[in-house]
Amino acid sequence: MPEITYREAIHDAMVEEMRRDPSVFLIGEDIGTYGGAFGVSQGMLEEFGPERVVETPIAELGITGAAAGAAMVGMRPIAEMMFSDFVLLAMEALANQAAKARFMFGGKATVPMVLRLPGGSGTGAAAQHSQSLESLLIHIPGIKVVMPSTPYDAKGLLISAIRDQNPVCFVEHKLLYKSKGEVPEGEYTIPIGVGEIKRPGTDLTVVSTGIMLHRCLSVADRLAQEGLEVEVLDPRTLRPLDTEMITASVKKTGKLLVVHEAVKTGGWAGEVIASVSESDAFNYLDAPMRRLAGKDVPIPYNRLLEEAAVPQEADIEAEMRALLTNQY
């Protein structure tokens, strides 16, 4: 299979779906001539024209409201937020309209829209452009929340998201745009709500996604040289969450660590841990379930402080070792 970047995988998914289905269109700020804040939509204006690559003013509520309305009358919009932080400006249209319309109309209305959200820290973009807000989004019934970690997953999940009949928040970590991976040519999909075991192991279950998944995999590979086998799971979708995959792994290893960049308080790690505590996997545990998350602070601009605010490989290794050696 050819190797492409995460950015290219998202671009290809949008282009292929727009070629296949004339109801699919892209809407957002600077997505046309400029090619998007992170270059994901480069070349799309030239191919599809301004009626299907719709440039907007700086108005996130308007973008999301327009997408929701278009979706309810038969279109399949892909709305891009320049930074995921700006979804806070769009919450009325997203949470009160798009998320609830299908329920309130008894299933007679559908809202097949995708909201693309570049998020996360690591680029020096400071407190208002570096947040991880996926935990906020999973709290809203009616919204699906997808967070791919690899180019392969990004393309397959975005195609599934575009074809879904419900609003999908598609969270893209900014540090992953340049990462590369094998992606098959042509059409394929990945079901929303199905996670994947990225690294099999027997001694500890680690659940993570986004950039944190890659840090967890790096640490797990180092620990394997010492005979410590960590199983690393990528839920890929945070809502719906693949609890069956997680509980099956915990039954095998007896230990669980959840790692995410979002702040600890109210983070989705708590939901993963709760799902295990409410299942029969709880009876297989031989250590407390633990979570490693971002600190409860705004993301600093200073590079060293920014790194200190979210888990790094050294932090992940310390947590893994603590559980593996019962030194928690």
Report the C-alpha gap between 79 and 191 in whole angstroms. Answer: 21
Look at residue 313 in the predicted model and tell me its pLDDT. 98
Write down the pLDDT at residue 293. Answer: 98
DSSP assignment letter at 94 = I
pLDDT of residue 194: 98
Q: What is the pLDDT of residue 147?
A: 98
Structure confidence at residue 142 (pLDDT): 98
Output the pLDDT for position 322: 97
How is 249-279 classified by DSSP, letter by letter?
HHHHHS-EEEEEEEESTT-HHHHHHHHHHTS
Give yes or no for a contact between 194 and 242, defined as CB atoms under 8 angstroms apart.
yes
Q: Which residues of the chain have pLDDT under 70?
A: none
119-157 exposure pattern, b = at least 16 Cβ within 10 A, e = fewer: bbbbbebeeebbbbbbbbbbebebbbbbbbbbbbbbbbb
Q: Which residue has the tokens 């709290």?
A: 139
Reading the block at residue 82, the tokens are: 């320049």
Show the CA angle centred on residue 19, arms to residues 18 and 21, nearest 5°: 65
User: Is the bond preceding 240 in cis, omega lying within 30 degrees of 0?
Assistant: yes
Is the overall model pTM greater than 0.95, yes or no?
yes
Q: How big is the chain by its Cα radius of gyration, in Å?
A: 20
pLDDT at 42: 97
Domains and their CATH numbers in the chain: 3-182 (3.40.50.970), 196-324 (3.40.50.920)
- What pLDDT score does 254 carry? 98
Tell me, what's the pLDDT at 1?
87
The catalytic residues are 129
